[in-house]
Amino acid sequence: MICLRAAAAVGSAGIQGLAQIDRYGDFSRNFKDFSQSKGPFMTKLALGVSHKDGCAWVTGASTGIGRSVALRLAKDGWTVAATARSAEGLASLEKEATRLKGQIIGFEGDIADRQRMAQVVEQIESGHGPIALALLNAGIYLSVEAANIDLDKFDRSVDVNLKGTANCLVPLIKWMRARNKGHIALVSSVTGYGGLPTCTAYGATKAALINMAECMNIELARDGVLVSVVNPGFVDTPAQDDLNFSKPFMVSSDTAAKRIVKGLSKGTFEITFPKRFTYMLKILNNFIPKSVYLNLIRKQTGWNARP
């Protein structure tokens, strides 16, 4: 209700109204002062964290982006707590990291299991913590078409991608707020920018993650906790195998990991790549009529003709 009231207030007031409802005075002056602030609060949030601040936690770490990010962080000297459902995948990951500067320690678990995620965070904090950086990457893609919505797939998508991420966030935020420091990154997707075929369930959860990251970034900044969102384009992982349309500008999981780690080190809110693709999608979703976007996507993906 508070969110709806705030949105209604801003929408009806317009720019002049913003100046009136801004309790600190002139909106334009305060925005300029805030954006140019060099105080310790702004500096702390802008710089992110390093391996000297504690360990990193990566979920969905046994394959794809999660695995590549875990290895790159370990290469940079991080102690990485890696979570995945596959014990075999985690053992392989630990072994691969033995020659790196840092180390990887596996914590088997399913993010859809709320109690297990609370246990994992407790085990990391007590044995290897504090958790300075968390990349909540675990997720699934299940093809769901509007003509025949599979509710089991829909439920599973929400349980893992959205509620599973929340299961990780609850214990994690508690620890980070107590320290007044930490960096959390949610891995979403450019699918969250606008609709794509076969993504009725997946796209909905990814759009929700983007909104979730924005909300938490606003709320947790005053507690010294930075929240970011990662919106990759197409990355060459097993999740892409079920997409039966062209995937332009696809990058390898190693390239994705390099760009993610670089973005995390800068402490930026959104990490997105490859920009020549993702920025094009931003323009299509924000600066042209939605009907034009939908017709274009329909044509480009082959959904403009009957099967």
More confident residue, 41 or 192: 192
Under DSSP, the state recorded for 117 is H
- The secondary structure element, H or E, covering residue 275 is helix 275-286
- The secondary structure element, H or E, covering residue 17 is helix 2-21
Q: pLDDT at residue 2 above 70?
A: no
Percent of the chain with pLDDT over 70: 81
SS3 at position 251: strand
Q: What letter represents residue 112's amino acid?
A: A
Residue pLDDT, tens place only, 252-279? 999 999 999 999 999 999 999 999 999 9
| 291 vs 289: CA distance, rounded Å | 5
What is the reported pLDDT for 10?
Answer: 33
Percent of the chain with pLDDT over 90: 76
| pLDDT range class, residue 239, cuts 50, 70, 90 | low
Q: Could you write out the three-class secondary structure of 121-190?
A: HHHHHHHCCCEEEEEECCCCCCCECHHHCCHHHHHHHHHHHHHHHHHHHHHHHHHHHHHCCEEEEEECCH
Handedness of CA 213, 215, 220, 224 (dihedral sign): positive
Q: In what order do the strands lie in the sheet with 182-187?
A: 103-108, 79-84, 55-59, 131-136, 182-187, 225-232, 270-273
Q: pLDDT at residue 24 above 60?
A: no
288 backbone dihedrals φ, ψ, rounded to 5°: -130, 155
**Which two three-digit tokens encode residue 175?**
């620890």
Find residue 59's DSSP bridge partners. Answer: 83
What residues are labeled active site?
202
Give the pTM.
Answer: 0.85
Indicate the CATH number for domain 40-279: 3.40.50.720
Residue pLDDT, tens place only, 29-77? 444 444 444 444 443 444 579 999 999 999 999 999 999 999 999 999 9
More confident residue, 223 or 14: 223
Q: pLDDT at residue 113 above 90?
A: yes
| pLDDT range class, residue 300, cuts 50, 70, 90 | confident
